[in-house]
Amino acid sequence: MKYQSQSIARLYFIAAIALFIGQILFGVTMGLQYVWGDFLFPAIPFNVARMVHTNLLIVWLLFGFMGAAYYLIPEESERELFAPWLAKLMFWIFLVAGALTILGYLLVPYATLAEMTMDDLLPTMGREFLEQPTITKIGIVIVALAFLFNIGMTILTGRKTVINLVLLTGLTGLAVFFLFAFYVPDNLVLDKYFWWFVVHLWVEGVWELIMASMLAYVLIKVTGVDREVIEKWLYIIIAMALISGLVGTGHHFFWIGTPDYWQWLGSIFSALEPIPFFMMTLFAFNVVNKRRRNHPNKAAVLWALGTAVMAFLGAGVWGFLHTLAPVNFYTHGTQITAAHGHMAFYGAYVMVNLTVISYAMPIIRGKQANNERAQVIEMWSFWLMTVSMVFITLFLTGAGILQVYLQRYSEAPLPFIVVQEKLALFYWLREFAGLVFLVGLILYVYSFFAKGKEVEIVEDLDMKKAVTS
C-alpha cells in the first residue's frame, strides 16, 4: 500500500460485506415467503423483508463505492487523503444511521417509524427503495457531502487522472440525483418522474461511471496495460453510458400516465443502453488479452472479467429483453423485471465492489495477493455466487414469461394471485439457487481467514520475454 490513508477503505469494505450478508439472509427469507406466506409472520412480514433486502443492498453498495474511492483516489492522486479523520467519522455516522434505520424497519410498524422520525415535517417516506426516514436521508446527504469534499480536495490538490475524475463525476452525480428523493409531489405521475430521477439516474447513469472507473483502475493494476489505452476505452464507455442512460429513463415512464412520446424516446435510447456494457466486456477482454504481467491475485482478475460479462448479461441483455414499449406493454412490473434487477445489480455493482475488495484487501493487509488456498476458495465463491445468480435469473425469467402469458396475453386472463400460485415451482427453484448463493457468500467470507502457501510476486511478461530472448 502506497499511502497510509488508503487503509481507511478496510473499514468500509468490512461494513459492506457484513451488510451484504444481511441482505442475502433477508433475500432467502423473502424467497421462502413467496411459497410459504406465513414464514416468520408476523415478526418479519414480506413487505418489511423486501424493504430490508433492497435497502441493505443500496447501503452496502454505497459503503463499497466509498471504500473503493478511499482506496484508489490517494493512489491515483499521488497523495494522502485530504482528511482521513473525516472519512473515519463519516463511516461511523453512516453505519450507525444505517443500522438504526434497519432496526426501525424491523422493530416498529412503518407508519409509527414515520411518526417517530417526524416525517410529516418534510414527507419523503413510502417510496420503493427510498423508504428511509427523512432524517436518515438528511444524514445520507451530510455523509455524501463530507465524502465528496474529502475526495474532491484530495483530487484537486493532487494528480488528476481520467480514472479519479470519472469517479468523482459519478460520485457527485450520485449525491446530486439523491436530492430528488426530497421532492414528493402529490400528483402520482409527477411523483414517479422524480422517483425515477433518483433510482434510474443512479443505476443506469452515474453508477455506471463509478463502475467503469473502478474496473479500469483494477485492470490497470492487474494487467499492466498502458494507462492511455484504458483511458481511451473509459471515455467511450462513459460517453455511451450517459448518451443512452439519461434519456433512457423514459423506459420507466411507459403506461403510468405520462405522454406517449416517452414510448419512442424510452424505447430508442434504452435500446442503446446495452452498448456501454457490451463495450466494458470488449474492454476487459482486450486488456486482459494484452496484459503485460501475470498478477498473483488471480481471483481479482476473475472478478474483473466476471463483472464485465455479467453486467453485459444482466444489465444489457436482460434489460433489452423487456425495454421496448410493445414488449413492455405485457412485461411491465412482472417477474421479468425482478429477473433483470437481480442479475443487473449482481453483475454490475455487486461484482465490481467485490473486484475492488478482492484486489485491495490483500494489499491493505500487507501482501500483494491472498495465499493460494484463500484464492481457490474465493474463486469457488465466485463461481457459486455467479452460477446461482444465473439460475435465479433464469427461474425468475421463466416465472415472468408464464406470468405474462397467463395474466396478460391469454384470451382468458387469470387474476394476479391465481397466477402467483402457478409460479410456485419457479419460486422453489429460485429459493434453492438463493441458498447456493448464500453458500458461495459464506465461502467468500471464509476466504479472508483461510491460511495457505503464500503466492509469488508479480511476473512481468515483458521482462520475462527480454530475459529469455
Partner 1 sequence: MKQAQHTNEQLKNASNVALASLLNLTLLPVISFIYLLFIYKNTKPGQIDHYHAKLGIKLNLVAFAALFLVSALMILLGGFNSPWTWVYVISYFTIVHTIFIVIAVWALVRAWSGDKLTKN
Interface contacts to partner 1, rule CB under 8 A = 278, 281-282, 285-286, 289-290, 309, 312-313, 317-318, 321, 390, 394, 397-398, 401-402, 405-406, 410, 465
Q: Which is nearer to partner 1, 100 or 229 (CB)?
A: 229
CB of 145 to partner 1, least distance (A): 40
End-to-end CA distance of the chain: 33
Give the angle 118-122-124 at the CA atoms, nearest 5°.
95
**459: which strand partners?**
294
Q: Which residue has the cell 498473483?
A: 296
Q: Which is nearer to partner 1, 31 or 398 (CB)?
A: 398
CB of 48 to partner 1, least distance (A): 31
Q: Which is nearer to partner 1, 24 or 284 (CB)?
A: 284
The Cα 129–Cα 54 span in angstroms is 6
Q: Which is nearer to partner 1, 405 or 432 (CB)?
A: 405
CB of 272 to partner 1, least distance (A): 12
Q: Which is nearer to partner 1, 100 or 402 (CB)?
A: 402
All cell numbers assigned to 310:
455479467
CB atoms within 10 A of CB 278: 17
CB atoms within 10 A of CB 163: 23
The burial of 202, by beta-carbon neighbours within 10 Å (0-12 exposed, 13-18 middle, 19 or more buried), is given as buried
CB of 285 to partner 1, least distance (A): 5
**293: which strand partners?**
460
Q: Which residue has the cell 481479482?
A: 300
All cell numbers assigned to 385:
455466487
Give the angle 8-11-13 at the CA atoms, nearest 5°.
105
Nearest alpha carbon to residue 286 among 219, 338, 235, 352 = 219
Which helix (H) or strand (E) is 460 found in, with range? strand 459-460
The Cα 225–Cα 236 span in angstroms is 17
CB of 335 to partner 1, least distance (A): 11
CA-CA distances (angstroms) from residue 294 to 9, 113, 374, 463?
Answer: 25, 53, 18, 11
CB of 211 to partner 1, least distance (A): 18
CB of 210 to partner 1, least distance (A): 23
Q: Which is nearer to partner 1, 86 or 321 (CB)?
A: 321
The Cα 146–Cα 463 span in angstroms is 44
Q: Which is nearer to partner 1, 172 or 286 (CB)?
A: 286
Q: Which is nearer to partner 1, 290 or 365 (CB)?
A: 290
The burial of 465, by beta-carbon neighbours within 10 Å (0-12 exposed, 13-18 middle, 19 or more buried), is given as exposed
* Whether the Cβ atoms of residue 284 and residue 215 lie closer than 8 Å to each other: yes
Q: Which is nearer to partner 1, 213 or 281 (CB)?
A: 281
CB of 383 to partner 1, least distance (A): 16
CB of 384 to partner 1, least distance (A): 18
